[in-house]
A = this chain, B = another copy of it.
Amino acid sequence: MSLLTVGSVAFDAIETPFGKTDKIIGGAGTYIALAASFYGIDQKIISVVGEDFPKAMLDQLESRKVNIEGLQIKQGEKTFFWSGKYHNDMNSRDTLVTELNVLENFDPIVPESYQNADFLMLGNLSPQVQSTVIERMKNRPKLIAMDTMNFWMDIAMDDLKKTISMVDLLIINDEEARQLSGEYSLVKASKIIRNMGPKFLIIKKGEHGALLFHGEKLFYAPALPLEEVFDPTGAGDTFAGGFMGYLASTNDISFDNMKRAIINGSALASFCCEKFGTERLTMITEQDLTKRIEEFVSLANFDIVTSTSSTQRQTVS
């Protein structure tokens, strides 16, 4: 199966309590494609960079089976740049610089060879760009997933709701779910959001794991408690990439397989936080990932036989 990702390929400069970087490679599309590349699937990416973007990085994507025909290189223009500084608790950050550059007038091209992609991941971008890609696909993919952020809720809620109505799965964090729904309770928020269109909803809660909602079904995936979060930049995109890569490689969008996909995404995201930017992600081996997934199994696994234990219980009336 093939995965088409739409997302920024960009430069980031990051400051955390542990240090700071110069301009390094970032962008939602980059993290998603790198994470999904663990699953040996054919990938395609729709994005845009300036002439200042290093060809070596594009070569690296191609070497991981990511087709870059839909990645536009704009001569005479500059790549999107974001700079941010994390607070001491690593749970919040300030944006220092946002230079849209090539993203300002991004018109996504969907090449002929992309039109039959099986899975579509819409990384965080303007909802207008996201819906345009869906409209330009010849066939509806088996699953369309979408990420977004509070920024678009603030300035483009109508466009955003239109795009949300077109997708199967929305992946957002807890604060975004609360803002989008106007409800503090995530259970209530999940109902309102799924009434907007998506049959599936994943709410990411950072160090507190992630929730998957579908119909009356609910899954709570733990996050691996980490000694140190060195740099959380890209962790959410890495999660989405691992999730979609796993789904595409198994070609199974059942609820039970989505659980497994979430554990895969969470495992990759936990690596992502260990170094700046994409550094750790590009060094993970198959053994590393297998071991990390086993840690998740051990972390979350428990064994209760309710019929046995209930015989020891008293009814209180």
A interface residue numbers (CB < 8 A to B): 34, 37-40, 64, 88-89, 184-188, 205, 208-209, 211, 217-223, 225-229, 246, 249-250, 256, 259-260, 262-264, 282-286, 289-290, 293-294, 296-300, 302-304, 306-307, 309-310, 312-317
Return chain B residues, CB-CB under 8 Å to A315: 285-286
Q: Are A219 and B88 in contact (CB under 8 A)?
A: no
Nearest CB of B to A125, in Å: 25
Most buried by B among A263, A284, A313: A313
The answer to whether A302 and B219 touch (CB under 8 A), given A225-B187, A315-B285, is: yes
- Look across to chain B and name the residue whose beta carbon is closest to the beta carbon of A256: B303
Q: Are B88 and A284 in contact (CB under 8 A)?
A: no
Cα A297 to Cα B209 with chains together (Å): 17
Known: A40-B314, A209-B220, A297-B306. 7 other contacts (CB 8 A): A185-B226, A208-B208, A220-B300, A250-B309, A286-B314, A286-B315, A289-B310
Q: Are B302 and A228 in contact (CB under 8 A)?
A: no
The count of identical subunits is 2
Nearest CB of B to A126, in Å: 30
Q: Are A260 and B314 in contact (CB under 8 A)?
A: no
Q: Are A222 and B222 in contact (CB under 8 A)?
A: yes
Partner of A184, one of B40, B88, B294: B88
Q: Are A220 and B284 in contact (CB under 8 A)?
A: no
Return chain B residues, CB-CB under 8 Å to A264: 309
Nearest CB of B to A294, in Å: 6
Partner of A316, one of B38, B187, B188, B309: B38
Q: Are B300 and A313 in contact (CB under 8 A)?
A: no
Return chain B residues, CB-CB under 8 Å to A217: 298
Nearest CB of B to A244, in Å: 14
Return chain B residues, CB-CB under 8 Å to A40: 312-314
Q: Are B314 and A38 in contact (CB under 8 A)?
A: yes
Cα A208 to Cα B30 with chains together (Å): 30
Q: Are A37 and B314 in contact (CB under 8 A)?
A: yes
- Look across to chain B and name the residue whose beta carbon is closest to the beta carbon of A213: B225
Partner of A306, one of B88, B293, B300: B293
Partner of A218, one of B225, B250, B256: B225
Q: Are A312 and B209 in contact (CB under 8 A)?
A: no
Cα A242 to Cα B131 with chains together (Å): 50
Q: Are A309 and B260 in contact (CB under 8 A)?
A: yes
Q: Are B226 and A313 in contact (CB under 8 A)?
A: no
Q: Are B228 and A209 in contact (CB under 8 A)?
A: no
Cα A187 to Cα B185 with chains together (Å): 27
